Structure 1
Amino acid sequence: MSLVNTEIKPFTAQAFKDGKFITVTEADVKGKWSVFFFYPADFTFVCPTELEDLADNYDVFTRLGVEIYSVSTDTHFSHKAWHDSSPAIGKIKYTMLGDPSGQVTNNFEIMRPGVGLADRGTFLVDPQGVIQFMEVTAEGIGRNAIELLRKIKAAQYVASHPGEVCPAKWEEGEKTLAPSLDLVGKI
């Protein structure tokens, strides 16, 4: 079952952000655009390249009013240790959620059965707490922050322009479509 167009479920998680441990709940997410970026584990291989890519583009995400929550089933203590020991992870300014109980991971239906690790999944949540986009990739396939930003811009455009949709490869400023009977069979 797809979680697109469903509201995120209640959760409470400990996190590491800006050198501090904080508590994050679903209430903290509402009111702004958010990306939940699930990855299998700290101190691994593909994961730090993805998290560094997000860190390198974090200013662009924040200019769009988007907060990033990276999530693994590691603890917030592990996130701090990784942040302190890895040059790539040390760049991170966004929130790193610890989810050792699996509450958040299970809420997003991204837990690997019988393994206790999250799959590599990305979810875009709108300011009302509704999931607008989700993507899950296999273990060895890393994600791209620039492509994620393109999809976020499209989602934000559609949300602020009722009656318009963004076609394939749409980039900010390009022509959109207004679905109607007149367009049927002409695209």
Structure 2
Amino acid sequence: MAISTDSIYSHKIFTQTSPSGKKINYPLLSDRTQEVSKRYGILNEKGGFAYRATFVIDPEGNIQAFLVNPQPVGRNIAEIIRIIQGLQFNRKTGLGVPAGWNPGDPGIKMGWAYVGKY
């Protein structure tokens, strides 16, 4: 899902008029009270906006990863997907994934005994 401090009316217009907005097939939630943004620590209270942030939350409700982009920098969706795939790989195999890992690549054993070995 996506959450922004924009109104539901802004979301409606965005999904009806923007070429990228028309492709959205997940819920858009409005955080007009800015309560969600405050709780996740991504609200710029002076500017009255939320930073571009991504939270990867597991099925148990635990935050597994979060990325906060500077205001002028967009998200890298490919990296967000890679993080999710790496977490799923870890749950399935118990192995970690090194930098640059992609699905199909081997994982690595984790723990102090393996530090510096890869």
TM-score (norm 2): 0.90
What percent identity do the matched residue pairs reach? 34
Corresponding residue for residue 105 of structure 1: 37
Query: Structure 2 CA distance, aligned partners of 1:175 and 1:75?
Result: 44
- Structure 1 stretches of 4+ with a deviation exceeding 6 A read none
Aligned match of 1:167 in 92, 98, 118?
Answer: 98
Q: CA deviation at 1:122?
A: 0.8
Query: Structure 1 CA distance, aligned partners of 2:20 and 2:116?
Result: 49
Aligned match of 2:68 in 103, 121, 136?
Answer: 136
- Structure 1 residues 114 and 169, CA gap change in structure 2 (3 angstroms): same
Check if 1:88 corresponds to 2:88. Answer: no
Query: Structure 1 CA distance, aligned partners of 2:58 and 2:35?
Result: 20
Amino acid at match of 2:97: C
Count of residue pairs the alignment pairs up: 118
Corresponding residue for residue 55 of structure 2: 123
Structure 1 gaps of 5+ residues are: 1-68
Query: Structure 2 CA distance, aligned partners of 1:181 and 1:82?
Result: 49
1:43-85 residue CA offsets vs partner (Å, 9 max, x unmatched): xxxxxxxxxxxxxxxxxxxxxxxxxx11110111210122112
TM-score (norm 1): 0.59
Corresponding residue for residue 52 of structure 1: none
Query: Structure 1 CA distance, aligned partners of 2:115 and 2:4?
Result: 44
| Structure of higher RCO (CA pairs closer than 8 Å, 6+ residues apart) | 1
Query: Structure 2 CA distance, aligned partners of 1:107 and 1:160?
Result: 31
Q: CA deviation at 1:185?
A: 3.9
Amino acid at match of 2:91: A
Structure 2 gaps of 5+ residues are: none
- Structure 1 residues 159 and 80, CA gap change in structure 2 (3 angstroms): same
1:101-150 residue CA offsets vs partner (Å, 9 max, x unmatched): 01211121110122221001111000011100011111111112112111
